[in-house]
Amino acid sequence: MLRILQFLYRVRAFLLFAFLEFLAIWMIVANNSPQGAAFFNSSNELVGNALKKQADVVQFFSLADANLALVEENASLKQELLRLQVKPDSMPLAINSTLKATFELKGARVVANSLRFSQNYLTLYKGAKDGIKPGMGVFNSQGIVGRVKSVSENYSVAFSVLNTSLLISAKIKSSEVFGSVQWDGGNTSEVQLLYVPRHVKATKGDTVITSGFNAVFPEGLLIGQISKVEVNKKDPNYLAITVKLSTDFSKLTYVYLVENTQFQEIDSLYRQSDLINEY
Amino acid sequence: MNIRNLISYGFLILVLGLVQILFLKNLAVFGHAFGFLYLLGLLILPSTIRTIPLMLIAFCLGFILDVFFETIGMHTAAATLFAFLKPIWLKAASPTGGFDEAEEPSLGQIGFGRYISYAFPLLFVYALAFFIADQWGTGGFFGVLSKSFFSALFTLMLTLVVQLLFFSRKRGI
């Protein structure tokens, strides 16, 4: 017995090493499982505050760019509004429930963003207090950005599109063929469009948009443009399509968050029919 | 190790950690080589610090970094491995008779050639562990290997520059 204890004492450094490594690996696994709750991340008050201070300084220098983008977007929205405004002489329409907005938008500031890992996340300066919920879609005026993972009181953490575990339902605009967009961990300006069958004619330059099937994003948000079409080497039944992202992930300052107000209904319908809605 | 040294090491690690979090987060040379400058703080801790406290320090440092970088567990795992291997490698790579007890394995103390042969393999192992954790199941093996190699090289250069610029010849900091 004494010998065993002596032996254990002699290898105590290694035992501690094994224990700490086990702890670290457990944290990696727990954090990366899509369903598992994340305990420690930058939505934490203290860390979020520090990141916000950093963003305050860094984003000061890109304020001009951010303003310009906002002005441009404002202009295009104004134009849209003018087109939609009801003419004074026309008959007023009775708005019924079918015209009720299914998507609600909120704006938020990006305080931290990473590009260089294979699991990239964004930290946003808006949290549960402002009505942010896990599962909301994130986009900006250029295109889609990601999906909210977890929220705290004032901050929230979102999967970036540049995260190998995020799948987004997409379609090719011209042919209405749908598939899933996923990042392969390589080039930060390109993603892969998966599950498009081989008989589909996809050409370079076609626009890829969100399909609206997954109830996270509304239909028609820009993802990017097809830059390369090849036959999938692993599974020749499908095409391997590379999409050039329209969003510049190195310059994110402000984003929009979108919530589907009918998500509960859709989700319970899926549950009733035993389908797994993978967002 | 007196209290004065303790404070200066604590200060060094704090500054390196801040630099890592504020400036080196999204910096990657050619999208390939990462700088893990905060490891300098662990590298030059004197050989009198035993494995167990060293590992605990590394674990905490890695964890704090992970929280900021949103890479939970990855830096922690790699830094713990780094701290576990450091005393072993230091013993193996030291000249016969070993280092002077209080000696710190920094550039000014052990010289250019010995510093590189001491630091580079450790940095490489760290980077390898980090990228294996990061790219698990997605990246190719050679991608991970080349990323680790160039990151270790870049980090080594950063540590050399910092030591040449800010460390006095006689003793650390």
Q: What is the pLDDT of residues A15-31, one digit of tens each?
A: 888 898 888 888 887 77
Interface test with A, best of B32, B57, B59, B72 (most A CBs within 10 A): B72
pLDDT tens-digit series, residues B6-52 = 888 888 888 888 888 888 777 777 777 888 888 888 888 887 788 88
Average pLDDT over residues B146-158: 90
pLDDT digits (tens, 9 = 90+) for A197-210: 888 888 889 999 99
Q: What is the pLDDT of residues A75-127, one digit of tens each?
A: 778 777 777 765 666 555 555 555 556 778 888 888 888 887 888 888 998 88
How many A-B residue pairs are in contact by the CB < 8 A criterion?
102
CB A155 within 8 A of CB A132: no
Over the stretch A209-220, which tens digit does the pLDDT of each residue have? 998 887 788 888
Rounded to a whole number of angstroms, the distance from the CA of B103 to the nearest CA of chain A is: 22
| Interface list for chain A against chain B, based on CB atoms closer than 8 Å | 12-14, 16-17, 20-21, 23-31, 38, 40-42, 44, 47, 50-51, 54, 112-121, 123, 157, 164, 184-185, 188, 250
pLDDT at B54 over 60: yes
Specify the range with the lowest mean pLDDT, choosing from A38-47, A122-131, B109-118.
A38-47
As a whole number, mean pLDDT of residues B113-132 equals 88
Q: How far is CA B137 from CA A25, A118, B134, in A?
A: 15, 10, 9
Q: B93 touching A, CB under 8 A?
A: no
b/e sequence A45-83, b meaning 16+ C-beta within 10 Å:
eebbebbbebbeeebeeeeeeeeebeeeeeeeeeeeeee
Query: What does the pLDDT look like over B70-105, one tens digit per residue?
Result: 778 888 999 999 999 988 888 887 666 555 555 777
Residue A181 pLDDT: 92
The percent of residues above 70 in pLDDT, for chain A, comes to 88
Chain position carrying tokens 């990042």: A183
Tell me what pLDDT residue B173 has: 47
pLDDT of residue B139: 63
Partner-chain residue, chosen from A21, A27, A50, that has the shortest CB–CB distance to B72: A27
Question: pLDDT value at position A47?
Answer: 76
- What pLDDT is recorded for position A224? 92
Q: What is the pLDDT of residues B159-172, one digit of tens each?
A: 898 888 887 655 54
The closest CB to that of B80, out of A17, A29, A116, belongs to A17
Report in angstroms the alpha-carbon separations of B167 from A270, B109, B140, B164. 63, 11, 39, 6
Of A24, A42, A116, which has the smallest distance from its Cβ to B76's Cβ? A24
- What mean pLDDT comes out for the span A149-175? 89
- Rounded to two decimals, the ipTM of the complex is 0.78
Does the pLDDT value for residue A269 go beyond 60? yes
> What residues of chain B lie within 8 A of the CB of A119, using their CB?
70-71, 134
Scan for tokens 């996923």, then name that residue.
A182
Give A61's pLDDT tier (boundaries 50, 70, 90).
confident
Contact between B71 and A184 using a beta-carbon 8 Å cutoff? no
Would the pTM count as exceeding 0.80?
no
Angle between helices B3-22 and B51-69 (to 10 degrees): 30
Pairwise pLDDT comparison (A70 vs A43), residue with the higher score: A70
* pLDDT tops 70 at residue B137: no
Q: Is B70 left (phi over 0), alpha (psi -120 to 50) or beta?
A: left
Chain A residues in contact with B21 (beta carbon < 8 A): 50, 54
